A and B are shown apart, each in its own frame.
Chain A
Amino acid sequence: MKGLAAGDRKIIEGIYKDHFNMIQSLIVNNNGTADDARDIFQEAMVVLYEKVRTGSFELNCQLKTYLYSVSKRLWLKRLQQNNRLFTQEVDLETTVPVDEEIGQHEKRDAEFELMSQAIQRLGEPCKSLLEAYYLRKMNMQDIALQFGYTNSDNAKNQKYKCLMRLKKLFFSEYKNGNTHG
């Protein structure tokens, strides 16, 4: 679990390998394609990852059961949205309640979507500049060099302007989203 929280590739690959086929058969047997299975499984992995990262997560069932439950809920939701049917009702596999996680996950997903859109709307060079500084954690000297600013102060200045625009875009949408519920 610690490895997962740290984003250790080996560990994640192991979890992936051991559980993907199970989720795939769940989805494919219930009106889904292999591609849907891939999406749902990866979303469930994100739910698990976020949960583990909070630090307070205690797994009180098998990992297998947990991933199965989350995937099933996610898939049911998606089927309902598309008015398709979940043909096969609960199989022998027991599921655990995961409503809380799914709720949090949806909220976070919406927030990330907002951020992603805000960054997209910034346009270049702001988008790359901010991504380099805040997401890839490059330092200002390297950024100045890569983007061709004559010194890091100019880059800083530009970064500041970009950041202000991004914050404005983000918060206007964020507050709107909140009032609409």
Chain B
Amino acid sequence: MDDLRLLDTVERYIKGEMQPDERVHFEQLRKTNPEVDLLVVEHTFFLQQMNRFGEWKRFKSLLSNIHVDLAEKGQINSARLQGKAKVIYLWNRYKRVSAIAASIAVITTLVISSLVWIIAPASPRSQFEELNKKFSQLEDKTRKQAKEIDRIKDKATSVPQDIPFTTGGTGFIIDTKGYLVTNAHVVEDAKQIAIQNNRGEYLVKVVFIDTERDLAILKIDDENFKPYSSLPYGLSKQTAKLAEPIFTLGYPRNEVVYSQGYLSAKTGFNGDTLSCQIEINANRGNSGSPILNRKGEVIGILNGRQTNTQGFAFAVQSKYIFDVIETLKKETKSPTIRVPSRSLLNGLDRTEQVRKVQDFIYMVKVN
């Protein structure tokens, strides 16, 4: 009997799949042959370990699933640390580090910014294509008809029906109160902006634009909007790793579109350090789409592609969203935007992740 057949037999023996006479025969063999006996004992132990490992894994993923569900329904308090508790916690944890870091940071910032000022080249923008889309007249018409039907079906929307939206992109929620982020070039020179997905259609206003980083913060300005209870994804402060698998959801069509790829370079167009290069299928309308990693953390925002090559695109790194929020806080008196830094999607499979994220991603329509 060769090893393969032996192990197969042992496995059947352990699982109790043997016929009675075969079983008697095998038990006889076990008694006479100590090696076989040892194999049975060892393999039983191993299979038990495997089984329990499997159950343990299933149970853990069930728990994370339940957590996200309950948080969505607002049945558990999954608010992040707030107010005083957070300040004390952070202070205790980082007081020593922060003192040192602050002094180093001041010096380096001064040196680097003066250097950049002197040597930064003006980048040729012509090869770089921004991926906001233009709605053709026909498309606009279809969309209006569809909307008309929706309205008849009594889906209240406060967005006036006669605005001819001409361009658009994608945006996603970063704060449950209704703050979104998208690319600056999507909403530049906009007269009116609306967002739309399966959840509904809302009017938004621009809170802040940073053309340097190509980021814009929008706020939903609509009485029909109900705040979310929590966000499924978090925003990563780290630079993504090379070859990290990524996926995105966006609105290159009037329908949400999924695509996946990987991070192919840590810098963007012409060595731009604000962004990174990703290998992904991106089209007009994908501008402003979140780039998520396997754990469900947003690592960037898609903002453009190179015109003379196909297949790769560029994304603004997500850590700059934090910078923009910081600037916003200093310059205006708007309420603080709270961005979650940890994702609740870790450990879920991709279809589950996408299902949970969908509701937080909107088509941005600009007039």
Chain A residues with CB under 8 Å of chain B are: 7, 9, 12-13, 16-17, 20-21, 24, 28-29, 31-35, 38, 42, 45-46, 49-50, 53, 84, 108, 111-112, 115-116, 134-136, 156-157, 160, 163, 167, 170-171
The reply to whether A135 and B53 form a contact with Cβ atoms under 8 Å apart is yes
The reply to whether B62 and A9 form a contact with Cβ atoms under 8 Å apart is yes
Contact with A along B1-34 (1 / 0, CB 8 A): 0011001100000000000000000000000000
CB distance from B48 to the nearest CB of A (A): 11
Given contacts A29-B85, A33-B89, A34-B78, contact A115 B53 (CB under 8 A): yes
Residue B50 CB within 8 A of the other chain: yes
State the majority secondary structure of interface residues on B: helix
Question: Which range contains the number of B residues in contact with the other chain?
Answer: 35 or more
Please name the residue on chain B nearest to A29 by beta carbon.
B85
The one of A46, A84, A163 that contacts B56, using a Cβ cutoff of 8 Å: A46
Contacts of B156 in A (CB 8 A): none
The reply to whether A134 and B62 form a contact with Cβ atoms under 8 Å apart is no
12 A-B pairs in the complex with CB atoms less than 8 angstroms apart: A9-B66, A17-B75, A24-B77, A28-B81, A35-B342, A50-B56, A84-B93, A111-B49, A116-B53, A135-B53, A135-B57, A157-B4
Contacts of A49 in B (CB 8 A): 59
Please name the residue on chain A nearest to B344 by beta carbon.
A38
- State in angstroms the CA–CA spacing of A136 and B49 once bound together: 15
The one of B3, B7, B59 that contacts A46, using a Cβ cutoff of 8 Å: B59
The reply to whether A12 and B66 form a contact with Cβ atoms under 8 Å apart is yes
Contacts of B76 in A (CB 8 A): 16-17, 20-21, 24
CB distance from B289 to the nearest CB of A (A): 26
Number of residue pairs spanning A and B whose beta carbons lie under 8 angstroms apart:
91
Contact with A along B346-357 (1 / 0, CB 8 A): 000000000000
- State in angstroms the CA–CA spacing of A53 and B63 once bound together: 16
Please name the residue on chain B nearest to A19 by beta carbon.
B76
The reply to whether A16 and B81 form a contact with Cβ atoms under 8 Å apart is no
Contacts of B93 in A (CB 8 A): 84
CB distance from A112 to the nearest CB of B (A): 5
The one of B50, B62, B70 that contacts A7, using a Cβ cutoff of 8 Å: B62
> Which 6 residue pairs across A and B have the least CB separation, nearest first?
A135-B54, A20-B76, A115-B53, A42-B63, A160-B4, A134-B50
The one of A33, A134, A135, A160 that contacts B81, using a Cβ cutoff of 8 Å: A33
Please name the residue on chain A nearest to B57 by beta carbon.
A135
CB distance from B95 to the nearest CB of A (A): 13
Contacts of A35 in B (CB 8 A): 342
- State in angstroms the CA–CA spacing of A31 and B109 once bound together: 32
Residue B67 CB within 8 A of the other chain: yes
Contacts of B77 in A (CB 8 A): 20-21, 24
Given contacts A13-B70, A28-B85, A34-B80, contact A160 B7 (CB under 8 A): yes
Residue B258 CB within 8 A of the other chain: no
The reply to whether A112 and B66 form a contact with Cβ atoms under 8 Å apart is no
Contacts of A13 in B (CB 8 A): 66, 69-70
CB within 8 Å of A: which of B31-49? 42, 46-47, 49
Contacts of A33 in B (CB 8 A): 80-81, 89
Contacts of B50 in A (CB 8 A): 115, 134-135
Contacts of A20 in B (CB 8 A): 67, 70, 76-77
- State in angstroms the CA–CA spacing of A13 and B77 once bound together: 14
